[in-house]
Structure 1
């Protein structure tokens, strides 16, 4: 059986996710790449009762899965995206991955934008 880099990536994010309550239903995690290297993760877990929790996964813990995923999607030497968004629904196992090739400010959370970004990133999968 061959490894599935996408499944491995999602599994790594979930396994190493910090900040989510046990009852989370879906997640949205932004993985930022600086100079082609994993630099940070941030996002939200969404619970059935409407609670939104800030989450992150330690980059050093997910780096192997991120590297394998990117190697599977991009030929060696190709320009990597500035960041990408992983959305996952725990119940349906549906996911979507959105790439941002050039704008490192996309999905950036600030005091003025955090509520809008929480809603923008909320998965609507399935």
Structure 2
């Protein structure tokens, strides 16, 4: 897979994300869930993690990041193949490490509920050795 497709995806998500009350300059890591209901990308949402422990909810404009998401997915999947239902993109801004995890069938794998809110946010936090 061409490295620029991954870089383009990461840059698009970071450049196009928004949220209320966010430490735009100081955040250290990101977890973003890409949603593909019915096999079509339509949403990108997740969290920014700051060194002081603050966790901020963010979302990226789906239409603005769609070209980068499509290019990334096309580098993995052929046109007739079924896309995953979700993709988790994690980035550690301080060391440049990233991870992309595909979920093929369980659309609830990365679903936040009132009961799992705190654990959910922490569970998505990027941790690289």
- TM beyond 0.5: yes
More strand by share: 1
The answer for unaligned runs of 5 or more in structure 1 is none
1:7 is paired with a residue whose SS is helix
The structure 2 residue matched to 1:107, chosen from 106, 110, 114, is 110
Number of equivalenced pairs: 125
TM-score (norm 2): 0.92
Q: RMSD in angstroms over aligned alpha carbons?
A: 1.2
Which position in structure 2 is the counterpart of 1:85?
A: 88
The answer for unaligned runs of 5 or more in structure 2 is none
The structure 2 residue matched to 1:21, chosen from 18, 23, 28, is 23
Residues 17-57 of structure 1: CA distance to partner in whole angstroms, max 9, x if unpaired? 11231211000000000122112121110000000000110
CA distance in 2, matches of 1:14, 1:104: 24
16-25 or 101-110, which deviates more: 16-25
Which position in structure 2 is the counterpart of 1:33?
A: 36
Q: Runs ≥4 in structure 1, deviation > 6 angstroms?
A: none
